[in-house]
Amino acid sequence: MNLTQLIKDSHKLAVEKGWWSLPEDTAESKLLMIHGKISEAAECYRNGEMETHFKMPAPPLDEYEDTSGRKPLGFPIAVADIAIGCADLLGDLGCSGLDSRGTSLLYDEATPDEYTSVVQLLLETHDGANLYEDSIVETIEMCRRLALKVGFDLDEAIRIKLAYDRIQPGMHVR
């Protein structure tokens, strides 16, 4: 999933589920939630939960058993949740995930020359909004690098987490 699509999907789902419906739903509150997701990822790592698994009453009968509706857990899902939270926040900020020339802000979605140009553009841009968005995009990039290093498919983890979130009735109890 490319960054632009991740932003669209994450923010649309968050709005549909009521995550931006209250006055206290601000960028700052979302950053605190992302911080919590980072803590969850650290806890999974510390506990050795490095594979995606599903919270279910009994083990699946076979590898083809439907896991829909069962909460996905584990380090890959926690990292995916960080990326989803960041993408949602970018959506609220109006960031498309592309620079003014239509080049992706993520390193692995841009050619090396395009990425060098993006980095130069970012270094030349010093207003607070762009630096804020750039920091959030860099967090998603760090999630991608971590997935590569640890050896899991971040796109698949994001797909699983978004599928689970879509079937939930609404925002989690605060």
pTM of the entire structure? 0.79
d(C-alpha 103, C-alpha 167), whole Å: 33
pLDDT at 118: 44
Cβ–Cβ under 8 Å, residues 89 and 13: no
- State the alpha helices, DSSP H only, in the chain: 3-16, 27-46, 75-92, 112-124, 128-150, 154-167
Cβ–Cβ under 8 Å, residues 69 and 167: yes
Task: Tell me the mean pLDDT in the region 124-151.
Answer: 76
Q: What is the pLDDT of residues 44-79, one digit of tens each?
A: 999 999 999 998 754 555 555 555 668 899 999 999
pLDDT at 80: 96
| Residue linked to tokens 């009453």 | 57
pLDDT at 110: 47
Identify residue 171 by its one-letter amino acid code: M
